[in-house]
Structures are given as C-alpha cells and as structure tokens.
Amino acid sequence: MPAGPNLATLLGSDDQKYRQPRDLFDDESEESPVTEDLIQVGKSEVRRFVGEFWTSGQRQASSLHEVSYRACFKPQLPHYFIKRFTKEGDTVYDPFGGRGTTAVEAALMGRRIISNDGNPLSRILLSPRLCPPSLMEVEKRLEAIKYRKSLKADIDLSMFYDSETESEIVSLKRFLQDKSETGQEDIVDAWIRMVATNRLTGHSPGFFSVYTFPPNQAVSPESQKKINERRKQKPEYRDTKELILRKSRSLLSKVTTEQRVNLQRVYQFAQLLTEDARNTRAIRSASVQLTVTSPPFLDIVEYAGDNWLRCWFNGIDVDAVARTITMAKSIGDWTRVMGGVFKELYRVTKLGGWVAFEVGEIRNATLKLEEHVMPLGIDAGFSCEAVLINQQTFTKTSNLWGVKNNEAGTNSNRIVIFRRQ
Ligand SMILES: C[S@@+](CC[C@H](N)C(=O)[O-])C[C@H]1O[C@@H](n2cnc3c(N)ncnc32)[C@H](O)[C@@H]1O
C-alpha cells in the first residue's frame, strides 16, 4: 500500500458518523504510488496529492452513464468522493450538472440528489435515467408512434439526413412536443426523447445522420456540406426506431435490480434545476453533504452552439441558453463568476459538508485553475483541505477541444477539496 495518510486523521474529521471508509487511499493498488507536497495559499499551506486514484483496476461504471456530453467527467470521479464523504440518504449536488454524471452515480449509490445546469438539455438528458423504463415499455411506445413520410423539418437538414430519416425525426419531434404541451409526457416518452437527442448526429451508422461529429458537438449545415464533399458521402436511410431501441438496450444493459431500487427511491426526491449556478434559491440552505462538480473551463467549450441541433429537436431557444451559461473570455471574468458560485455553494453546504471542485488541464497545463479556485473557496468561508491530482496514463496522446492530454502521455483531473467547518 502507498504510504498515504488517512484523510479523516489528516483533516481531524469525525469518522464515526459514516459507515463508508473515508481514507482517500483505501482502494489503491500497490502499483499506484501517491506523491505529496504542499502548496502555499495566502498564509496557509494546502496538501497536494498526485496519483492514479480511480482509473486502474476499478470497477466498471454503469451503462446508464453512456450519453455523450462535452467535457464530461468519468463516473469514477464522483464515485470516489461520494463513497468517502457521504452515507446513504445524504444529499449530493452538482451546480454544473451537464449530462448528470454526479447525479446518476449518486442516485445509483442511494444518495439524494440535486443537479443544476443553465442549459435545459441537461435535465432532458438526466431525468429519465433516474427512473429508467423497461426495454419492453420503450419498444411498445415506439410501436405506437405514427411516422408521417410527408413531414419536413422547418430548417434545411438535408446535409445530415436522408429525406425519410428526416421525416421520422420530425414525426418524433412533433409527437414529443404534443405530449409535452398537453402535459402528457411520461417517463417512457422522456426516455425516448433523451435517447433520440443522443442519436441525432455521430460518426457511425448507430446514429441518425450521415458521418459527422458527435451529437454534443454538432457542426453547422455549411460545415457538414464540406464534410460530405470531402468524404464523397450522402445521407442514407436510418431506421430511427430501431436505433433508439438498440441504444436503450445498451444503456439499460448493466442496471442491476439493487440499482433500480435505489434509483426509484431517490427519483421522488430529486431536485433538477435550470438556473445560473450563482443563484439557486430553490436549494435549502445547509442541506448538501457533498458537491462534486466541474465548471465550464473559460471559453473552450461552446455549450450552446455545439448543441444547436439537440436544441432544435427539443424546441429549446439556443440564444437564450447562450445568454445563461458562462463563457468567460479571461481568467478575471472566470474567477468573478466562480466567486459567486462558491458563495452559493457555501450557503447550501451543511456544516461538515464537502466540495470537490474539478478543474481540467487547460492550455497545456500552463494555466493551473486549481490555484485560482483555492482562494475563491476560502473567501466564501470554506477551508481548503487538499488538492487531488488524478493522473491517468495514456498509451497515446490526444488533444480534445483544448483540454489536453499532455506530451508525457498522461491526462489529469485536478480536484480542489473544500470543507465547511
Ligand atoms: C464541464 S461541463 C459539466 C460536465 C459534467 N461534469 C458532466 O459530467 O456531464 C459544465 C456545464 O456547466 C454549464 N454551465 C455553464 N455556465 C453555467 C452557469 N453559469 N450556471 C449553470 N450552469 C452553467 C454548461 O451548460 C455545462 O453543462
């Protein structure tokens, strides 16, 4: 075992209250050494741990997580902190919920959840996975949906879809819109909406479109025309009902009975919000035991623009989304927004509760966001307990939308851990 200190001892916290072990290193393998040093923040020193904490030799995540979203984190990340800092029935929160990785993982583990995101797509992607229908229910509902071949989209989508596929997508869009407008959208409809939203565009015949970028990163119609020319391709028919069913089967493939019971129990108390993370009045003060989150990283990812086609399918005004979500141009703007987020997190966090705030590795790791985040949490009233750097070794290097897996063949998650004392 690596010679890592027990966090409970390190932080002088009360281990008795929790059934779960709270040692940061308790399921580490011998091959993963942890190094430790100190970072100076103002007058205090904060411990920094570097190691491979949750990737190697860890259990596989639930299939329910497998929906794509820009800059989402792996479920092992929230799992790691939920296991150590909460017990069953505690509330786990994510103010920048995205696809809902924290919420789904917490719910699978029997924790109560609150998830917020300025983009309404987040709720569409998350909500039905908290109460998944059976495959048979999905199949029967799909059979009942009437497709009308004459239907056309109100915008030109011919560069993405063949005309019959387009009419199926528009039929589905209208069906779901009618259900929603008449207040009749149930969990099976919501599930179909979530899966269809995920199948709109992609790089394989498993998606509705001709070869293109994934659905969380839809290109403009003009760019798609160029892709088609370059690849000498044109859209072919896709059986949308069959593809929805296939993806549903895969999402539901590893959900155990115990997990379904946990989800059902948690779903009725789940709080799903679509607010600016700085202003979440619906969340009770001092109610959250643990927040696990990753904020938007400066202006690297365009959460609104990249999702234009998903927004079209769901009748969401993409410009309104763009106005809500944070696209900070400079580190100064970013820290001002995050300062407001930390004030709100302090309000909602219980005494003794925790915040695990993940910042990516951006601009070739020259900008260490964790060093900007530490004073923000401290100014809001938290104590900064540690910085955890999870270093995952890659066999090849890659550079995804500016969040870089660096030259040494590693990728890191950098998490600043705060506590409300
Ligand atoms: C890095 S992503 C979170 C991904 C998430 N951890 C996951 O695994 O899917 C950041 C999210 O913050 C949302 N967002 C950006 N600015 C926001 C704000 N001011 N308030 C609430 N959400 C915001 C974006 O819509 C995006 O979904």
List pLDDT tens digits, range 356-395.
999 977 655 667 888 899 999 999 999 999 999 988 765 4
* Domain at 7-119+256-302+329-419, CATH class: alpha beta
- How far apart CA 144 and CA 190 sit, in angstroms, is 15
Determine the atom of ligand 1 nearest the C-alpha atom of 119: 25
The 3 state secondary structure assigned to 239-308 is CHHHHHHHHHHHHHCCCCHHHHHHHHHHHCCCEEECCCCCCCCCCCCCCEEEEEECCCCCCCCCCCHHHH
Cβ of residue 273 lying under 6 Å from some atom of ligand 1: no
Ligand 1 site, residue 99, Cβ cutoff 6 A: yes
Q: What is the arrangement of strands in the sheet containing 271-273, beginning at the earlier edge strand?
A: 35-41, 44-51, 383-393, 410-419, 349-359, 288-293, 91-94, 112-116, 271-273
In this predicted structure, what is the pLDDT of residue 410? 53
Q: What six digits make up the tokens of 131?
A: 């109460």
- 69 CB less than 6 Å from ligand 1? yes
Q: State whether the beta carbon of 300 lies less than 6 angstroms from ligand 1.
A: no
Q: Which residue has the tokens 């993405």?
A: 160
CA of 72 from ligand 1 middle (Å) equals 9
Q: Measured from the CA of 69, which atom of ligand 1 is nearest? A: 9
pLDDT, the chain, mean: 86
Atom in ligand 1 nearest the alpha carbon of residue 101: 8
Euclidean distance between CA atoms 88 and 284, whole angstroms = 19
Q: Rounded to a whole number, what is the distance in angstroms from the first to the last CA of the chain? A: 30
For ligand 1, the distance from its centroid to the CA atom of residue 339, given in whole angstroms, is 16
The alpha carbon of 118 and the centre of ligand 1 are apart by a number of angstroms equal to 7
* Short-list 71, 80, 74, CA closest to 62: 74
Give the residue from 322, 316, 315, 313 showing the smallest Cα distance to 157: 313
Q: Helix 331-348 vs helix 369-380: angle between axes, to the nearest 10 degrees? A: 40
* Distance from residue 277's CA to the centre of ligand 1 (Å): 9
Nearest atom in ligand 1 to the alpha carbon of residue 325 is: 16
> Does ligand 1 come within 6 angstroms of the Cβ of 201?
no
pLDDT tens-place values along the chain, 421 residues long: 333 344 544 444 444 444 333 456 555 444 567 888 898 888 889 999 988 888 655 567 899 999 988 888 999 999 999 999 999 999 999 999 999 999 999 999 999 999 999 999 999 999 999 999 999 999 999 999 999 999 999 999 999 999 999 999 999 999 999 999 999 999 999 999 999 999 999 999 999 999 998 877 889 999 999 999 999 999 999 999 999 999 999 999 989 998 999 999 999 999 999 999 999 999 999 999 999 999 988 666 676 678 899 999 999 998 888 887 877 878 899 999 999 999 999 999 999 999 999 997 765 566 788 889 999 999 999 999 999 998 876 544 344 434 444 444 456 889 999 999 9
Helices (H), 162-256: 163-181, 187-199, 221-231, 240-252
Cβ atoms 103, 94 nearer than 8 A: yes
Say yes or no: CB of residue 334 within 6 Å of ligand 1.
no
CA of 301 to the centre of ligand 1 (A): 10
Q: Choose the residue to mutate in 82, 117, 274, 413 for probing ligand 1, maximizing ligand atoms within 8 Å of C-beta.
A: 117
What residue spans define the domains of the chain?
7-119+256-302+329-419, 135-250
State the DSSP string of 58-75: PPPPPGGG----TTPPPT
Q: Is the CB of 115 under 6 A from ligand 1?
A: no
